[in-house]
């Protein structure tokens, strides 16, 4: 069994899809006690609305004292996080496997 609950959005993370992802994260927070990983490897672009939803999702996780990780960021997503300084706030992994390995090693 995976040490994390994985969410895998695809395409463009904009207002509409960001809202859907935020709702998926909210549901996962209510239904599992596992840390959450947003595997971004299938995302090609994130606009400011999608970024806002991602930040709100992190706040929701933190309010419940839960971990929310990101992995597989394309150059554009990573650049947005770096420009906003949130690359220091989110725990980012190169890949889903790296995240799972890190969590397995911590237990």
Locate the domains of the chain by residue range: 5-106
User: Residue 107 above 80 pLDDT?
Assistant: no
Q: Which residues contact 21 (CB under 8 A, 6 or more apart)?
A: 7, 9, 13, 38, 50, 53, 54, 57
**Model confidence, pTM:** 0.94
Residue-level pLDDT at 1: 67
> Is pLDDT at 105 greater than 90 in this prediction?
no
Return the SS3 of 88.
helix
Check residue 87 and report its DSSP letter: G
What is the CATH architecture of 5-106?
A: 2-Layer Sandwich (3.30)
Compute the distance between CA of residue 15 and CA of residue 39 in angstroms, rounded to an integer. 18
User: Taking all residues of the chain, what is their mean pLDDT, rounded to a whole number?
Assistant: 94
Does residue 66 register a pLDDT over 90?
yes
Between CA 69 and CA 82 the distance in angstroms is: 16
Between CA 36 and CA 80 the distance in angstroms is 21
Looking at the DSSP bridge assignments, the partners of residue 93 are: 71
């Amino acid at each position: 069994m995976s040490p994390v609950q994985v969410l895998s959005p695809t395409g463009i993370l904009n207002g509409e899809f960001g809202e859907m992802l935020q709702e998926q994260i909210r549901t996962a927070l209510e239904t599992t006690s596992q840390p959450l990983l947003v595997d971004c490897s299938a995302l090609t672009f994130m606009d400011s609305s999608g970024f806002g939803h991602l930040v709100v999702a992190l706040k929701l996780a933190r309010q419940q004292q839960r971990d929310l990780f990101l992995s597989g960021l394309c150059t554009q997503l990573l650049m947005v996080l770096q420009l906003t300084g949130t690359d220091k706030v989110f725990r980012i992994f190169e890949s889903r496997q790296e995240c799972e390995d890190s969590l397995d090693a911590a237990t």
